[in-house]
Amino acid sequence: MSAVPTATRDLLAALDPLPHRDRTRRLVAWARTAPDRAQVCADLRRHGPYERRLALLAALATRDTAAVLAATFDPEPSIAATALTAAVRAGVTPADLTDRPAGARRRVYRALRRNPVPAVADALIIGVRERFGDHEAAALLPACGPETVRAWLPDLEHALNPERLMRSHSGIVLTRTGERMAVAPPESRGRIWAEVAGAVLHGDPARALDLLDGYAPEESLPGPPVAYGRLAAHDARRVVRLLTSPARAAWLARTTLPRALLRRLAALPTAELVPLAARLRDHDHALAALLHAVAPSRRAELYDGALADTDTTALLPGAQVMEVLPAAVRAREAARVLTLPSVREREEQVRFCSAYLPWPEASASASAALRSGDADERADGWRLLVAAARRSRDPRTVAQVVVRLGRLRNEQDPVRAAALTALATVAPLLTATSAGGLTGLTTDAVDARDASATTTTALSRLAVDVLTHHVDVPELVEWALRTIDAVSSDANVPVLRRLDTVLRHGQEAVVFDRLRGRIEAGMARGRYGLLFAFTHALGRRAWRLPELQDLLRRTIGPDTLPAVARTAAGLWLADPRTRSRRVAEVLDVDASAIAIGEVWAIVCTSRTDLLDRVLDRPPRGRFVENGKRWVPGPAPRAQRWLPRHQERFVALQARVVADSGHRVWQRAAAIRAAAGAGPAGRELVLRHVDASEVPVAEAALGALVWTDRPDEAFPVLLRYADGDRARVALYAAGRAARYVPPARLAELLGGVLTGAAKVTSRKEAARLLARYAQVDVMAALGEAYADPDTHRDVRAAIVSAARQRLGTEAGWAVLRAAVHASREERRAVLGAYPSGISQRHRRTYAALVVQACRADDREVRRAAFDALGEWWQWLTGVTDLVVDRLTDPDETTPGIGVANLLRAGGDGAFRAALARLVERDAADDDPGGPAADRPARRRVELLAEGAALWSDSRPAAADRAGLVEAARWLAGRDTFLGTATGLLVDLGRLDDLDEVAALCAGRPVVAVRTAQRVGDRLLTMRRRPDPAALAGTVARLAGRGDLAGGLFAVALVAHGSEFGWKTPWRDLLVGLRRHPDADVREAAYTLDMS
């Protein structure tokens, strides 16, 4: 044999016994020093995938660009893709990149995004877009240089992930967002924010705040609230101004502000936080969270400031708020609440509020409940007593409560459980003097005949918290350990909280020293619950305790039960730094431990040198049932194995597949497991694609794409496109298509598209061609579409594909034809949204939607008109079309549909539709009946409802003059006054009520109905009016002296209840009770200020 093959053999022999990581290191070291590396690597490339992968690794280690480029043509897709990625990172652009499979191209784009080489990306993007369209070019854009990004961004932003682009070109994204916002109508800015908010909020904080100040929606803030924390860290004042905008009050009320954001806002002076606290005062949870975020010394000032403009006489603060108030303010509020008649009349309310008083008063109130004959009242008394002691923050007070808890010996278990559950909340305040009392509590609870799981859980939680807070207090630690031991059993393991999140650094060693004796004593009795619970509770800190690790190692020993050893092995192998070494020791103890999931995974991924040991002979031991042979399950990272390991693994799976004694699902699982084990696994899968048993055959078809050659699997899968296995085969082909070169892909799928395959297969072929093939494939798709024998569902799939290829004339030809074709094809046209279409194509596409609105198919017309509002910015000349639709007596449109149509047709369409319908109603001589009762009039009412919905969805500053004029015109028409006044109320912001009241003069029924509408409008407005301005409106309306103005004022003055009827609201209501109109006076008296 020549020298080169000998050197190759020597290298392979040297690498053979090594685990994967050591094998890689050895190969890299060899490649950098071996004088015959080139010859050996050339020989390796003539062998199988394992040897070729070694050759590629050697080339990467020595930066042998020529060898890396040669590997890009490797027949195995994973090797070729790895080489291609490395070549691009090195600045070498393969000339045939656009001829590579989609999966390989995507890996290149991902590599360039992570390690940008702008010159390479700039050179690639032109060809990529020309051949594969906007979406693939958008995937490459973040890797390009700034100039390219600026030039291409406007055309590609519909296909772009802005957060991905933000990582490399944040300034450009922010600039482009500002440009889009500046030219966009206010109604469209919400859609833009939905696309870019996540990216903008992670950009430069100052520029992000500028964009929010200038263009944020009036009624809300875009993006997730958690993203505002970094903005608050930069400028908390500006964030508070954004949050407290009056228009955003409703949004703020339903939004939970994250703790991180509140902590950053708390850095502001208290006076600057008062507006935010005032916005949150009606929401106990939100206000309590804000108060908790500020220092206790500032909470009183912030709380009082939040309530400064409201009358607190009858205010009942929530429990969450009371808990975070300083002691003095809490006692003040409790004393005030206890004077309220609504509280004094209920004994349980008095007890609850008294618990917030200073300790002597709180103790006296709760103690009275402890003497009750009702068990529920006694339980409530103990809860309140312990809570009051906790609020005192006095360890001596808590010690007194512990002594008093000794009375629980003769109590019922529900009472005992309630008291002990409450006691767990005062663990930080316990002292050594309480150890004796706690011991008595434990003894009484454990010895009680009616002891429940709730009671023992409460004791366990208290003991764990004591360990956490008092690890340096021997008496308390001893009590905690005894309690944990007392409530533990083989079936009842103490629930330990995550100690690694609360213990100080190094404190875990102290806790372990205290617990070690108990743990070892339990192990001696065969009880391992405390060991496992403590290890879980420490998390990663357990890895740093050698003695604890030794206990776990002992538990793996041959004398322990399989379930115990299995758990111990999982915990002992958790540390990634030591698991590779320890796994061999686990197998030394018991070879059958390979059946443990963690052990098998480690052997597969890192200790590949142990595969001979576990695959060559069947393991025997406690982890494998007697009389059964262990067969390994799915093997992660099987491509790291030696070829013989893969072959042996596949042979074991083949025995399962061939054994009819196994259940069919087990045989199918064996095929799936073998798929990833190199050529041997692929051969096994291929042998069973035509199996007689359906689950086995379908498992083989589905597993083909997970073999080492998914590109070769693709034509195999397509062979089943016309059979019963098509649903499985074509689904799998969707993944395999990523590994097939585009030219070959078009050839294979073209045959399916135009052949005799099932309709579902041909539809999937059209989708895959649109997704992975080159842009010019639209010509072939267009020909298939034009074929009159093509099934309508396939044609609809081609139409959907054409939406992805709008850069080609063939795509537009399909869409233009589809608008006049079958219902399925028209619906496919209407399935597009403007955000998914390039800006340059939206006007043309909107014209297609308009054409669909004139279709002869009613269902198509309905879908087209429903979509019309989305395209309103790009529509021209549709007013008559919208008016015809709004007034068509044969078409029923819901209110939201009317709003959508008005968005497309504008104010002119609304006025024209009203005029036509009013004229039609006037000419209708039919008095009405059950079948049809004045249809034109009903349509006017529906039109008014839709106009109100449309108006409410628009920004406050939007021009509504056309709608208002139309409503005024309607008010002058006979019998439409009530509809017109209601519409005027809904269109305004309670600033036109004098005009509306004047219209109601002499029409008391209309006045009453409109007043109800005024009250509803106040409740539903997303932007509440300023309280001072609203009070002025009430005073002005009341001063009119007429029925309508007075009723409107009564509807609005009810808002005063939100301020506790503080001045001027009380005075306004009292004034209305003296109104000259008796009906107004009576309505005012229906409002109860108490």
Portion of the chain with pLDDT greater than 70, in percent: 99
Query: What pLDDT was estimated at residue 391?
Result: 94
CB 710 within 8 A of CB 77: yes
Joined together, the tokens standing for residue 868 give 């019309």
Of 385-394, 478-487, 526-535, the range with the lowest mean pLDDT is: 478-487
Average pLDDT over every residue of 650-676: 94
pLDDT at 899: 92
- The string of pLDDT tens digits covering residues 431-457 is 999 999 999 999 988 888 888 888 888
The answer to whether the pTM exceeds 0.95 is no
Mean pLDDT of 996-1010: 93
Model pLDDT, residue 494:
62
- For residue 757, count CB atoms less than 10 angstroms from its CB and return exposed for 0-12, middle for 13-18, buried for 19 or more: buried
Are the beta carbons of 307 and 315 closer than 8 angstroms?
yes
pLDDT digits (tens, 9 = 90+) for 832-843: 999 999 999 999
Return the amino acid letter for 736: A
The percent helix, strand, coil of the chain (3-state, each to 5) is 75, 0, 25
Question: What is the distance between the alpha carbons of residues 729 and 734, in angstroms, rounded to a whole number?
Answer: 9
Q: Tens of pLDDT along 80-126? A: 999 998 988 888 877 788 899 999 999 999 999 988 889 889 999 99
The alpha-helical segments, DSSP class H, found in 704-856 are 710-718, 726-736, 742-754, 759-772, 777-786, 792-803, 809-818, 823-830, 842-853
Contact 703, 713 (CB under 8 A): no
- Select the more confidently predicted residue: 255 or 92: 255
At residue 489, does pLDDT exceed 70?
Answer: no
| Cα separation, 262 vs 287, whole angstroms | 11
Q: How far is residue 1007's CA from residue 1013's CA, in Å, rounded to a whole number? A: 10
Using the CB atoms, write b or e for 937-956: b if 16+ within 10 Å: bbbbbbbbbbbbbbbebbee
> Which pLDDT does position 862 carry in this prediction?
93
Closest CA to 943 of 893, 906, 991, 870: 893
| Greatest CA separation for the chain | 120
How high does pLDDT run on average in the chain? 91
pLDDT, average across residues 699-723: 95
- Read off the pLDDT of each residue in 994-1012 and give the average, rounded to a whole number: 93
Least confident interval from 145-159, 213-227, 675-689, 915-929: 915-929
Per-residue DSSP letters for 347-399? HHHHHHHHTTS-HHHHHHHHHHHHT-S-HHHHHHHHHHHHHHHHHHT-HHHHH
pLDDT tens profile 278-318: 999 989 999 999 999 999 999 999 999 999 888 788 888 99
Task: Let me know the angle formed at the C-alpha of 521 by 515 and 526, rounded to the nearest 5 degrees.
Answer: 120
Dist. CA 31–CA 41, nearest whole Å: 9
Residue 4 has pLDDT above 60, yes or no: no
What pLDDT score does 2 carry? Answer: 43
Determine the pLDDT at residue 728. 94
Q: Burial level of 356, CB count in 10 A (0-12/13-18/19+)? A: buried
Residue 882 confidence (pLDDT) above 80: yes
